[in-house]
Amino acid sequence: MDATLAHSSLSRDLLARDVQLACLLEVSALKPGNITPAHDFSDTTYADMVRSALALGAAFAHDRARHRRVGELIADGVSATARVTAANTNLGIVLLLAPLVRAEATRPADEPLRVATGRILAGLDVDDATAAFAAIVAAQPGGLGDAP
């Protein structure tokens, strides 16, 4: 698949589309030492990053996020990514966005996102941590060194 983004590839779900666009904008920004449209790594390409961004749409769709815990959303994001590339292309942004997506999907219209995010973060528990840890292990991030 080439890295060209077809309009039909973007989700019709607004929250999912926001996630996809955030990921696409992040990888498209020119940053020294990172993958960009003009710079691939030997084992990961810009096209891998685009596929990963698009894959997160379904995992972080509004109705799904309303019914999933943050740890489950992290696991869903990692699984969605693994279906489209063997590389760990977006673990960091999945960890960042999962609580924000959950907050947006569950907040009443009159609750600011900042307040909703605080509520979601305050409610994280051992089950969320366990699911997040399993997802991190499954993503096989590099450069973290060894731990006993």
pLDDT tens for the chain, residues 1 to 148: 444 454 456 677 899 999 999 999 999 999 888 999 999 999 999 999 999 999 999 999 999 999 999 999 999 999 999 999 999 999 999 999 999 999 999 999 999 999 999 999 999 999 999 999 999 999 988 766 665 5
pTM: 0.88
Exposed e or buried b per residue across 127-141, where buried means at least 16 C-beta atoms within 10 angstroms of its C-beta: ebeebbeebbeebee
